A and B are shown apart, each in its own frame.
Chain A
Amino acid sequence: MSILQDIKNAVRSRSIHVAYVDVGSCNGCDIEVLACLAPRYDIEQYGIYVHNNPREADVLLVIGSVTPQWVDKLRDIWDKIPEPKVAVAIGNCPISGCVYARRGTLTTPPVENYIPIAASVPGCPPRPTEILSAILSVAPLIFKDYEEKQP
């Protein structure tokens, strides 16, 4: 364990930038992600900053079953995020397609076919506290000792 890694661990545990991308949902999950910003849940007290910019993000929240427009673009957005990175699926749509996975649909769930998903938060929509706890529990697992875990 090097000193550099210690510093990186300390910084990464209190500075998580979040980007969210809606790839075709009813936007009910979008507004629950936005509700996390409210002072009642206060996502920023954990050092999480929601700024919808993939280039400076650590965590990507994926919302919705994948529409045809997003099939290529979702991978592009994932590639733009610098390492180390983690994707969290919010709601039922990225897992199974929820109500949209029926005959006649244009969507092609699940999101796992396009980008690697580290955690999923089921619910239609999940509560803000569940989204918050998912980010807080999955981010340290990926970010801690990231450089040392690399082969």
Chain B
Amino acid sequence: MKKTVDVSIPLGPVHPCWKEPVRLKCETAGERVLRVEVELGYMKKGIERIMRGRPWQEVMFLAERVCGICSVIHNMVFIETMEEISDIAVPPRAAYLRVIVNELDRIASHILANFSYCYTIEHETLAMYLLNTREIVLDNLERITGSRVNTAYMIPGGVRFDLLPEDAVTVLADLDKVEEEMRRHTRIFETGPLIALRSKGIGVMDREEAIRSHTVGPTARASGVSDSDLRLRHPTYQALGFEQITRTEGDNFARIMVRFQEIFQSIDLIRKCVTTLPDGPIRGGGLCRAGEGSHSGEAPRGELTYTIKTDEYGRVLDIAIRTPSIMNIEACAHAMIADAASIADVTSTFISSDPCVACNER
């Protein structure tokens, strides 16, 4: 086997900065990092193998356990693929409720990503502020769906629970609180001189490299890749007037700021959904039929695709999941970290691309 990296400093799999096991093998010359290779495979559970031959009622719960951080979008994309295969229509109220829950999950995921980055650059104060704000978001997720993580909220043809009017008032009040706190945290991050020293101009990836590496999500948008947000193509988001956020710097600072800006955008989307929530049923019903289809959605980390083949009883015969982080991790290793000025920048740059190892390996 060809040796690509002469490892002098291995990072991981158990490392104080990593949330999940992954190993980065760094080749260094002094403090300068020449090359980095990513070693994956510590979380391979074989979910797609388990899914094959099982009814969609079981696969639905397995799909959201591909990734715990972005479990709502895995649920949503799987259900939307099943609806596309079986021609099931969703009532407008259910479509809006899906957007509310999805955006709450996105806020929680983005706050966690920014928490990890602040924790990695040792700005623990801001990290703890962010984590405390995240609890308010998770409270609302629990209020609507009944669970903090792994909510299983969506089913073919609708959603499980309705949003009660008194809950809607609480959600709106909590969103005001979250927005006020996030404005403060964003100001701290944007104007902090020490944060700027650790973030601006570190781990730069230009637009051409981002397109060549097929990066997706906030990582691509921070490098100025336009039209890369799949919410632009989702009918409910189109009705809500969604616009993509793009920055051009392409460094660690831009990637974190894109997430901060998307949090405010998500808050506005939820507010718009709750105030203009249409009346009507939350479940349309429908039967899952035989067919084959592919559907993509915008996860907090980028494009997520499910390709499913079902039989006439709604059993999943074949399934392939394409998760966003794998491209971002690879681009991070060969474009952002390569020729980094110090080992300390390797961890912070890697975390800034928001790697989700459980998603990648399944």
**Interface set of B (CB-CB < 8 Å, partner A):** 13-21, 41-47, 49-50, 52, 54, 61-62, 65-69, 71, 112, 115, 128, 131-132, 134-135, 138, 148-150, 356-358
Contacts and interface: CB of A to CB of B under 8 A. Distances in A.
Contact of A125 (B19, B62, B68): B68
Contact of B16 (A39, A52, A64): A52
Contacts of A26: 65-68, 71, 150, 358
A34 B128 contact: no
Contact of A124 (B16, B66, B132, B150): B150
Contact of A99 (B13, B15, B65): B65
Interface string A14-50: 0000010111111111111011011110000000000
A45 B329 CA distance: 36
Nearest to A21: B14
B44 A24 contact: yes
Given A26-B65, A70-B42, A103-B50, 17 more contacts: A19-B14, A21-B21, A24-B44, A26-B67, A28-B149, A35-B135, A38-B128, A38-B132, A38-B134, A38-B135, A39-B132, A52-B18, A67-B43, A67-B45, A73-B13, A99-B62, A125-B150
B44 A68 contact: yes
A77 B12 CA distance: 12
29 contacts: A19-B14, A22-B19, A22-B21, A22-B43, A23-B42, A26-B71, A27-B68, A28-B150, A30-B68, A34-B112, A35-B135, A37-B131, A38-B135, A39-B128, A40-B135, A51-B16, A52-B17, A52-B18, A67-B42, A70-B42, A99-B50, A99-B62, A100-B45, A102-B50, A103-B50, A106-B44, A106-B46, A125-B148, A125-B150
Given A69-B42, A100-B45, A100-B47, A27 B19 contact: yes
Given A27-B357, A31-B69, A52-B14, A65 B45 contact: yes
Interface residues on A, range: 35 or more
Most buried by A among B18, B43, B132: B43
What is the predominant secondary structure among interface residues of chain B facing chain A?
loop
Main secondary structure of the interface of A (DSSP, over half): loop
B42 A24 contact: yes
A53 interface: yes
A104 B132 contact: no
B127 to A, nearest CB: 8
A37 to B, nearest CB: 6
Nearest to A44: B128
Interface of A: 19, 21-32, 34-35, 37-40, 51-54, 64-65, 67-70, 73, 77, 98-100, 102-107, 124-125, 127
A27 B16 contact: no
Contact of A107 (B20, B45, B65): B45
Given A26-B65, A38-B132, A51-B16, A32 B148 contact: yes
Contact of A27 (B41, B69, B128): B69
